[in-house]
Amino acid sequence: MIISDLMPGILLCRHAATSKKQLLETLCRRTAQHAGLCERTVLDAVIEREKLGSTAIGDGIALPHATVAGATTTSMLLATLEQPVDFGSPDGQPVDIVMLVLGNARDGAGHLAALGVVSDQLRASSHFLR
90-107 confidence digits (pLDDT tens)? 999 999 999 999 988 777
Q: Cite the active site residues.
A: 65
Supply the pTM of this predicted model.
Answer: 0.86
Residue 123: Cβ-neighbour burial (10 angstroms; 0-12, 13-18, 19+): middle
Give backbone dihedrals phi and psi of 52, rounded to 5 degrees, phi first: -75, -20
Written as tens digits, the pLDDT of the chain (130 aa) is: 334 455 567 899 999 999 999 999 999 999 999 999 999 999 999 999 999 999 999 999 999 999 998 888 889 999 999 999 999 999 999 999 999 999 887 776 777 777 888 887 888 887 677 7
Provide the β-strand partners of residue 101.
65, 76
Least Cα distance to 76 among 58, 103, 36 occurs for: 103
